[in-house]
Amino acid sequence: MSENTPRRMVPEDLYRLKTVMTPRISPDGEKCVYSVQWVDQESEKKFSNFWMAEVNGLAPLQFTVGNHVDASPQWSPDGGVIAFLSNRGSSEKPAQLFRISPSGGEARQMCDFPGSIEKFLWSPDGSKILLVAIKTDDDTLAREADEKKRKLGVVSRTYDRVRFKYDGIGFLSHEVTHLWLLDTETGTLEQLTGHALYADKDPAWSPDGQRVIFVSNRSDRPDFHPANDDLYTIDLVSRELRKVITPIGLKQSPSFSPDGKWIAYFGVEGEYTWHETNHLWLIPADGSVPPVNLLRGTDYTCASSTLNDTGSAEQMPPTWAPNSEVIYFQVDYHGSSKVMGVKITDRSLFDVIGEGGIAGSFHFSDDHAVMSFTYGDQRHLPEVYTQFCSTRSTHQISHHNDEFLAELDLGHTEEIWFKGPDGNDLQGWVLYPPQFDPQKQYASILEIHGGPTAQYGNAFMHEFYTLAANDLVVYYTNPRGGTGYGDAHCKAIWGDWGNRDYADLMAWVNLIADKPFIDQRRMGVTGGSYGGYMTVWIIGHTNRFKAAVSQRCVSNLTSMWGSSDGNWVFQQIFGNKTPFEDVEVFWKHSPIAYIGNAKTPTMIIHSENDLRCPIEQSEQVFVALKYLDVPTEMVRFPDESHGLSRNGRTDRRVMRLKSMQRWFNQYL
């Protein structure tokens, strides 16, 4: 192979990928700062630094350096300071808040918060910064202060709440997230909220800087009524707390209009609403009339959940135009994540960044003359772009992955719309391997997404390209139960996993199997999380696949109850009864109930620190297959969470992909 001949993707290419994130344009629209994450292969650690670009000028230049994590850059309102989170003070402790001049120089720590800062927001006049943060609990502080106790580690943990662990974090602090005010001149911290039971999140400033609005669930038993979110405002002078009356349901990201008259927020209506699409709501700031759903009757989902394994697109809060008449927001729709606008006077909708890719982190200059955002698609990793709003002219300003991508032959992808078994419209994609020859026959892999409330689509998937590089046709679809196609599509499997979703997947398999280039004797299947659920369901209901790889699966809904970090909430899907009230419905919809029918050679992949779908879910499948003498292996990854395939340690991500390749090569 010559130097100029494109090569195929390999698992180790994960070390080459640069994750471009969180672009923020300066208030005057002249500069854009953003973060680039990279992997140090020797230490297997991920670091991120800032880059700075002139919107109308030269190529971006690296702005911060060092083996640490610089994240979440935010310009001060006057553009004179960039605040950001960084672990540059200590890689062993939570990130702290720093400030740096846009012209460069040394960064200066702004405060020493005794815990973890999750989010921060400048006040309109720049004199304060609002923190969303969680204090380190007393037990942990006492242990860290005593050298002997620190070396011995935790002796025991005692909890009196069911929310005591979370995937990717581990066991939770006894503290919850609250709001704090930081004086930017003195560094003084003042706690705004502090109830021991009620967590506070997603704050926003009023335009005059006199009030803060935020989301909090202050029901009697918030752990058992997770959808009872409410909006609250707090007056920063009187400290008066006021509840904004809204329908029951999950809420996020409230945002004041620039004239202070309106509040926009994302939310769903109802307490048991996993299948409801997240919509954009509008309410007068004085609460004088009930909120209205600006997207009622549409199939749009206010989210940025198109699945990929190279960095998720940041979802931004509802963003107001300066005239308080238009709101900008992101939606998942037909495999894309796009940016839209809505005029609040007549609810007319229009695209700002349309279909075809994944848009994230959109952010405007003060006058809305220019917008920065990330954008990627099936063949391009996300990079930073700008759009001049008057002309809609778009320019790519970062190129961190161009050289890497230029080396590769990725094959090509075809989008296919087809009819499901009930006449329902379904969308799918076929990834053809490099140098595809339609006269040959190929082995194939059905990929099934997790969620189920998510979507596959126009995002770059390293895993898919790595499998296709082995001369496999990779095909994937969005069966009923996912997002991006409206409420009816999403709610079709509510209370009935394994029925319509399975039928949709088999209709897709039948369509692809009939292609002349598909070898029906060499068809494989894989999926993770809910996709793992469906993989195990499939091997218990059909023997048409010659190999399967189940990843981080759900197999037994009965034992999942109480052991997952979601603990009891899965019962909402199946009639909202516990297993000890209706064990039959849990068992009926558990793939393990049908595992006795399985004959498909199946590899089981799971992370040992998966708290979302505990590893016992896969252990049951592995033991059952061994008992049945069905060819199987279990590949376990220590110290990894449910998100291994997306954000795990890179050498383990590489081994995961090599294990999948090996299994499919052996049996296909």
Catalytic position from the list 68, 489, 589, 642:
642
Q: Which residue has the tokens 């007319």?
A: 348
Q: What burial class does residue 508 get, using C-beta atoms within 10 Å of its C-beta: 0-12 exposed, 13-18 middle, 19+ buried?
A: buried
Question: From CA 129, how far away is CA 114, in angstroms rounded?
Answer: 16
Catalytic position from the list 35, 529, 607, 641:
529
Cβ contact 31:54 at 8 Å: yes
Cβ contact 311:21 at 8 Å: yes
Is position 529 annotated as part of the catalytic site? Answer: yes
Per DSSP, the residues of 48-85 read EEEEEEETTSS--EE---SSSBEEEEEE-TTSS-EEEE
Cβ contact 567:559 at 8 Å: no
Overall size of the chain counted in residues = 668
Question: From CA 131, how far away is CA 116, in angstroms rounded?
Answer: 10
Which amino acid is present at 14?
L
Is position 368 annotated as part of the catalytic site? Answer: no
Dihedral angle sign, alpha carbons of residues 412, 417, 419, 425 = positive
Q: What burial class does residue 129 get, using C-beta atoms within 10 Å of its C-beta: 0-12 exposed, 13-18 middle, 19+ buried?
A: buried
Per DSSP, the residues of 253-322 read EEEE-TTSSEEEEEE-SSSS-TTSPPEEEEEETT--S--EETTTTS--B----B--SS-PPPPPPPEE-T
Cβ contact 453:274 at 8 Å: yes
Residue 482 backbone phi and psi in degrees, to 5: -95, 180
Question: From CA 430, how far away is CA 412, in angstroms rounded?
Answer: 8
Q: What burial class does residue 631 get, using C-beta atoms within 10 Å of its C-beta: 0-12 exposed, 13-18 middle, 19+ buried?
A: middle
Mention every residue, 6+ apart, whose C-beta is less than 8 A from residue 624.
592, 595, 596, 598
Q: How far apart are the first and last CA of the chain?
A: 26
Question: From CA 438, how far away is CA 198, in angstroms rounded?
Answer: 59
Closest CA relative to residue 552, chosen from 573, 571, 569, 527: 527
DSSP-based three-state secondary structure for 15: helix
CB atoms within 10 A of CB 349: 14
Residues with catalytic function: 529, 642
